[in-house]
Amino acid sequence: MIKEEREGIAHIFTSFNNTIVHITDLSGSTISRVSGGMMTKQSRLRANPTVAMFVAKKAAEVAQSVGIKSLYVRVKAKTGNTSPGPGAHAAIKTLGKQGLKIISIIDVTKIPRGGPKVKGGRRGRRV
């Protein structure tokens, strides 16, 4: 039985505490979700690029078994951070090395614009 070649979306969330790779199909149904905490016992290593490689490798194996051959990659960092965590680059490289074709890479980090009103009134907080 030959599986049809399908496309998927790899959502990579990287902070300085953890790396999460979540692969879905184009409609948004989850195919695999692996985090750094599932790969290592030491919590200090969850955001390590080496652990991110193992996370991406495990997620890619599950995706390939379902028939996904190419990916759109969406990288997301913690809201307000200008750069993703240390595991983002390693995870993207590993997905490519596993035989998945990467179609595009997009940064989808949320950026605060304005936000709620700061407490203290017009003249600010007086001490």
Interval 31-69: pLDDT, tens: 999 999 899 888 888 888 999 999 999 999 999 999 999
Instruction: Dihedral sign for Cα 7, 98, 89, 23, please.
Output: positive
Number of domains within the chain:
1
- Residue 127 located in a structural domain: no
Which structural domain range is residue 23 located in? 6-76+89-107
pLDDT tens string 2-13: 567 789 999 999
C-beta atoms surrounding 18 within 10 Å: 18
Asked whether residue 38 is assigned to any structural domain, the reply reads yes
Single-letter code of the amino acid located at 126: R
- Size of the chain in residues: 127
- Tokens 């989808």 belong to which residue? 108
What CATH code is carried by the domain that includes residue 67? 3.30.420.80
Residue 81 lies in a domain: no
pTM of the model: 0.84
User: Do the domain assignments include residue 47?
Assistant: yes
- The rounded distance, in Å, linking the Cα atoms of 87 and 117 is 34
